């Protein structure tokens, strides 16, 4: 069965530290990849997405992610985090021709200390 795995359940960083959140998926076919963010008490919002082309995609608020097909990975990065980045981050994989299914990872809670 297809699945998405996020390596870290909870990450704690100080402001200005660099961030990398891991995401791996298990599916051998064509996928589309997303990162969503959920700020405390709010609904999920799209950070960035990859469909095709340049495997390094840039999203909002200085986030970027790199798709490495050989590793089935789509890691999220930010060079310098801010306190306002405190949120839960979800990696999601869209599998075409499966009813438009979007499979989410377990989520990574990021806490940024001021």
Partner 1 sequence: EAQVTQNPRYLITVTGKKLTVTCSQNMNHEYMSWYRQDPGLGLRQIYYSMNVEVTDKGDVPEGYKVSRKEKRNFPLILESPSPNQTSLYFCASSLRESSYNEQFFGPGTRLTVL
Query: Which residues would be at the binding site for partner 1 (CB under 8 A)?
Result: 4, 6, 9, 31-32, 34, 36, 42-46, 49, 51, 90, 92, 94-96, 98-102, 104-107
DSSP string covering 33-63: EEEEEE-TTS-EEEEEEE-SS-SEEE-GGG-
Q: How far apart are CA 83 and CA 111, in angstroms?
A: 8
Q: Which is nearer to partner 1, 26 or 98 (CB)?
A: 98
Q: Which is nearer to partner 1, 31 or 87 (CB)?
A: 31
| Residues ≥6 apart with Cβ < 8 Å to 43 | none
Q: Which is nearer to partner 1, 61 or 83 (CB)?
A: 61
Count how many Cα atoms sit within 13 Å of the Cα of residue 10 in the half-sphere of its side chain: 2
Q: Which is nearer to partner 1, 73 or 108 (CB)?
A: 108
Measured from the CB of residue 66, what is the shortest distance to partner 1 in angstroms? 20
Q: How far apart are CA 41 and CA 44, in angstroms?
A: 10
Measured from the CB of residue 45, what is the shortest distance to partner 1 in angstroms? 7
Measured from the CB of residue 31, what is the shortest distance to partner 1 in angstroms? 8
- Return the number of other C-beta atoms located less than 10 Å from residue 69's C-beta: 9
Measured from the CB of residue 44, what is the shortest distance to partner 1 in angstroms? 4
């Amino acid at each position: 069965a297809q699945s998405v795995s996020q390596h870290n359940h909870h990450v704690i960083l100080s402001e200005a530290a660099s961030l990398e959140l891991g995401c791996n998926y298990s599916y051998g076919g064509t996928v589309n990849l997303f990162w969503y963010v959920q700020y405390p008490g709010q609904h999920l919002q799209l950070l960035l997405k990859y469909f095709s082309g340049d495997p390094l995609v840039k999203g909002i608020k200085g986030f970027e992610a790199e798709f490495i097909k050989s590793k089935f990975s789509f890691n999220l990065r930010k060079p310098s985090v801010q306190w306002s980045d405190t949120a839960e981050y979800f990696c999601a994989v869209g599998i075409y021709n499966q009813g438009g299914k979007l499979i989410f990872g377990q989520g990574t809670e990021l806490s940024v200390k001021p």
